[in-house]
Amino acid sequence: MNNDKEFLATEPIGKLLLRLAIPTLAAQMINMLYNIIDRIYIGHIPGSGALALTGVGVCMPLIMIISAFAALVGNGGAPRASILMGKKDLDSAENILGNCFTMQIIISVILTLIMFFGNRTFLMAFGASENTIEYAVSYMNIYSLGTIFVQLTLGMNAFITAQGFAKTGMYSVLIGAVINIILDPIFIFACHMGVRGAALATIISQACSCIWVLSFLFGPKSTLRIKKQHMPLSAPVILPCLALGLSLFIMQASESIISVCFNSSLLKYGGDVAVGAMTILTSVMQFAMLPLQGLGQGAQPIMSYNYGAKNADRVKSTFFLLLKASLTYSVILWVLVMVFPQVFAGIFTSNPALVAFTKNALRVYMAVMFMFGIQISCQMAFNSLGKAISSIVVAVMRKFVLLIPLIYIMPHIFTADQTTSVYMAEPVADFIAVTFTAILFSVQFKKALSAIRGQ
């Protein structure tokens, strides 16, 4: 592909979204394998699989925080770089790329130290029991050492996709996923390393992905390149990126806080089996969320570039096509989860009691998942247009204003089955949040389009 990005402004939107979204969708689906392949193998370790799965599940809040910091920088900087490309200001776009690269290295070093030396304290606070803590610590001691690879792979890959190099972005994830799938059974079973083997396989595969991403962004094929002169941090450059990325950071980091709230509440009312079920519910929710985010990331360069180029009709058409595709996906997956919950549960565990418990919890937890296409489409569009405040508002509303209080309130309202009441907090919060987001977006989107039309 040459350095001319006019195809983002001229190619038919349906064809263009397909061209960009299929690789990003594939990348998100492959990326999901990083998070679930370990759990599938761990859940089937003879004898200790169920407890080991619960232990690794307790690590998820820490892993989500690491990913959230990558989103804070990468997904905050990439849309701003796309908008500047639409304005033909490549030097400023490269300045953003260089600043974001430096910021991610700094954050990675700090996170590695915190996660390595403090993980036991965090894990006990996050819902680990005496039965599961050693599995959790064994996993995190190794995983934390690969923090810089996770950060740079996820954060910098956003800049590859934002330039329209969707296939290259997909390969970034594919390389790591294939290596992870090969190494997992070798380390876990053949080398008898258990959960430590799963963590080692993950960080080796992420290191390989990281090498691929950086070699592209430093190389001649990329339109925007990482250059030494753009690496020193500049507050006017990096702070607006962090402001825009804050909504996705809140979305992902709050998953960590919410996991803690769910785990502590479920441990109180349902014990280790309820916490183990939550690990599976979180994994299945990723089946819903990551492909939707992949669709959004495919649409992001189109919306951002054309917003910068003041082409309102293409921005509007791209959003509504994204909305239709996202809703179609979320409705289909919702139907499958409601009809075959035991199939989804059985992917992650062979424990009959855990499958039986989880299939009922899944139907409750994902009761309004069919609406998620609206939530993610609107949130990704806010980000694509650089609307940091609106994006932050909808993220805070869903997680902090609604979900966290409901986790603790619901068991006191529906006392007959308090464990199920905890799971009910998710669909109640989601229904209210999606309604709020749709109303706010319809108002803000009209204003944004009118502004670039000069009305």
Any domain includes 1:
no
Report if residue 329 sits inside a domain: yes
pLDDT of the residue at 101: 97
pLDDT string in tens for the chain (455-residue length): 344 457 777 888 888 888 888 887 777 677 666 667 777 888 888 777 878 888 887 888 888 888 889 989 998 999 999 989 888 899 999 999 999 999 999 999 999 999 999 989 988 887 778 888 989 999 999 999 999 998 999 899 999 988 888 889 889 888 988 898 899 899 988 898 888 999 999 999 999 999 999 999 999 999 999 999 999 999 999 999 999 998 888 877 877 788 788 888 888 888 878 888 887 888 788 777 878 888 888 898 899 989 988 999 999 999 999 999 999 999 999 999 999 999 988 887 778 888 889 999 999 999 999 998 999 899 889 988 988 889 889 888 988 899 999 999 999 998 888 989 999 999 999 999 999 999 999 999 999 999 888 75
Residue 198 lies in a domain: yes
pLDDT of residue 5: 56
pLDDT at 3: 44
Examine residue 331 and state whether it is found in any structural domain, yes or no. yes
pTM, two decimals, is: 0.74
The number of angstroms, rounded, from the C-alpha of 117 to the middle of its chain's C-alpha atoms is 25
In a domain? residue 448: yes
Residues of the domain holding 43: 12-453
Domain presence at residue 260: yes
**Domain annotation covers residue 2:** no
Inside any domain, residue 52: yes
Number of folded domains that form the chain: 1
